[in-house]
Structure formats: structure tokens, C-alpha cells
Amino acid sequence: MKIIKGSQRTRTEQGGFPVYIDGKLLGPARSQKIRNHSPDGWNWGYNGSGPAQLALGLLLEFTDEETARRLYQKFKCDVIAGLSEDFELKVADVKDWIKKKQMIKIGDKVKLAKKGKIGHCFELGESYEVRSIREEGRTLVVTDGNRSQIIETECFQPVAFEEIIYDE
């Protein structure tokens, strides 16, 4: 099982904190060429520039650049901001998170799994069609055929979600 580890007990030469994937130090240079949120490098445990850099850097390791750009802010909020000072994260969990977020596309059927802060007219457990994806994937415009509603992406799961088998 592959593991991602980080510790805020020491700093790298750039000033950020070290992160390792299976014992190999992950450097921020690749992610900084795409978007330089944090010249110092990685950080985590809050919603800021260092965590954004780490989210982008990790996603670049496990998916293509376009997907990483689209999802890293959400990954920061969902995963990186909640990491403790010394963390271990399974690579398989990161890949599963990516697959779940990539699965929802325009035209897909999705099921409302929980109520969010917006979009209260639609019913839990009902299926809707995705009309558009907004705010870097944070919200969806869905329709039941008669009306459309903006709802947070985290409230949905793809209708065929249970049928998907994840590979390591």
C-alpha cells in the first residue's frame, strides 16, 4: 500500500514542510510552474496558499494537468485542510477522491445524496441531469426536466456510483 506522509516538525530548504510519497520527497517545482500559490512550498491543516500548493502538487502526481487544475481547490478544502501536523494519507484514497470527482460530467445523471446550503427544492434520493458545472466543480446546475437548480457538487453521487470498481 502506497502512503503519502508529511511532517510539520522540520522544514525544507525553500521553507515549506516535507511531503513524501512512498519515501520519495515530493518537491513543489512542478506545481509552482502551473500556479505559484506558495514560493515556500507545502503546508496543510488550513485553507491557505501552502495547502493549495500541496493539493495541486499531489493531484499532478495522480492525474493529468487539466484535471488537477480543475479539482485542486476542492481537494484542498476536502482533504488537505483537514490534515494533522504529522499525517499519513493512502494513495488509494487520493485516487478514489479523484475518481469520484471526475465521474460527474455534463449530461450525467446524478442522485441527490444530501441537502446542502443551496438548492432545497429537489428531493433526496431523486435523480437529476447535470446541465453545467460551475465554480471549479464546486456547484452543479441540475434539472429534473421542468426546472433547474444550482446545488453543491458534494451533495450528489453519480447514479451508477455503486457499480464502479476501483483499481489500485
Per-residue pLDDT tens digits for 61-83: 999 898 899 889 989 999 999 99
pLDDT band at 159 (very low <50, low <70, confident <90, very high): low
Strand partners, 87: 6
Q: Quick check: pTM over 0.95? A: no
Confidence of residue 162 (pLDDT cuts 50, 70, 90): very low
Query: Domain residues of the chain, as ranges?
Result: 3-101, 104-160
Query: pLDDT at position 156, please?
Result: 65
Q: 104-160 is classed in which CATH architecture?
A: Roll (2.30)
DSSP string, the chain: --EEEEESSS--TTSS--EEETTEEPPSHHHHHH--S-TT----SSSSHHHHHHHHHHHHHHS-HHHHHHHHHHHHHHTGGG--SEEEEEHHHHHHHHHHHHT--TT-EEEE-S--SS-TTSPTT-EEEEEEEEGGGTEEEEE-SS-EEEEEGGGEEETTGGG-----
